[in-house]
């Protein structure tokens, strides 16, 4: 089975992607290849950040790999938090602080339209390929659900009356931005094998 490195140590993302790949490739994390480097996301777009990650791994380890960058874009906030989604409130990954900042910035706002966006950069045998996915929705006025990951407790996808934090992993893997980008990646990978 061919190895494919996902340039992340985020267990949540790894579980989502492993469920999508279903054993077509041996999916490896940064931990699995012994990479403890902090890959700086210095890009100003999701595409740039995804590309930074995949290029870093490919150049250092010479392994086929992909990196992704995802975030929440809110219309009333001119696309914020965008590429700064993970560190919107300052420190990286303080999810409740990020959620609270979004809710504060949207206080009194009637336009709550938003979307999650993912861009994947795959480097396969030295060639880069991009895949993207989005899911439209809106921002709730308060969090709900048991999945505290990212902005899931306040994002309600269009056509649902529950948040991403209240949807099963199976359903989320079918409709999410990452799922849509991954489906495109997997379709592409299936043409290689």
pLDDT at 176: 93
| Calpha distance 99→104 (Å, rounded) | 9
The answer to whether 38 is a known catalytic residue is no
- Is residue 92 annotated as involved in ligand binding? no
Whether residue 10 is annotated as binding a ligand: the answer is yes
Check the CA dihedral 44-78-129-24 and report its sign. Answer: positive
Give the tens place of pLDDT for each residue, 107-166.
999 999 999 999 999 999 999 999 999 999 999 999 999 878 889 999 999 999 999 999
**Tens-digit pLDDT profile for residues 102-119:** 999 999 999 999 999 999
129 is in an annotated binding site: no
If we measure between CA atoms, which residue out of 75, 130, 128 comes closest to residue 102?
75
| Ramachandran class of 108: left when φ > 0, alpha when ψ lies in -120 to 50, beta otherwise | left
The reply to whether 40 sits in an annotated binding site is: yes
pLDDT at 193 over 70: no
Binding residue per annotation — 18? no
First to last CA, the chain: 10
Place of tokens 């269009």: 158
Length of the chain: 193
Sheet holding 155-157, edge to edge: 26-28, 3-6, 65-74, 113-124, 127-139, 155-157
pLDDT (average), residues 81-87: 94
For every residue of 83-103, DSSP letters joined together read GGGGGTTSSTT-HHHHHHHHH
- Confidence at residue 138, expressed as pLDDT on a 0 to 100 scale: 98
The phi-psi region of residue 116 (left if phi > 0; otherwise alpha if psi is between -120 and 50; otherwise beta) is beta
**Which pLDDT score is estimated for 12?**
78
**11, containing H or E segment:** helix 11-21
Mean pLDDT, rounded, of the chain: 93
Q: Is 42 annotated as a binding residue?
A: no
Name which residue leads in pLDDT, 95 or 116.
116
Residue 151 marked as a ligand binder: yes
In the chain the domains, ranked by start, together with CATH numbers, are 3-190 (3.90.950.10)
pTM for this prediction: 0.91
Average pLDDT over residues 169-189: 90
Answer for the pair 93, 87: CB distance below 8 angstroms, yes or no. yes
Catalytic residue (one of 31, 37, 69, 187): 69
């Amino acid at each position: 089975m061919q190895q494919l490195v996902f340039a992340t140590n985020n267990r949540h993302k790894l579980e989502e992607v492993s469920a999508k790949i279903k054993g077509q490739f041996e999916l490896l994390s940064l931990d699995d290849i012994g990479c403890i480097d902090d890959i700086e996301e210095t890009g100003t777009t999701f595409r740039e950040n995804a590309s930074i990650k995949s290029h870093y791994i490919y150049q250092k380890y010479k392994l086929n790999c992909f990196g992704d960058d995802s975030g929440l874009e809110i219309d009333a906030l001119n696309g914020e938090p965008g590429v700064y989604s993970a560190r919107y409130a300052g420190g990286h990954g303080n999810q409740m602080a990020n959620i609270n900042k979004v809710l504060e910035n949207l206080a009194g706002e009637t336009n709550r339209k938003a979307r999650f966006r993912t861009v994947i950069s795959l480097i396969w045998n030295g060639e880069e390929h991009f895949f993207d996915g989005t899911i439209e929705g809106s921002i709730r006025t308060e969090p709900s659900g048991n999945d505290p990951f990212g902005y899931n407790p306040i994002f309600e996808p269009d056509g649902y009356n529950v948040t991403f934090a209240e949807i099963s992993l199976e359903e989320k893997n079918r409709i999410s931005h990452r799922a849509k980008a991954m489906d495109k990646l997997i379709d592409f990978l299936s043409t290689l094998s």
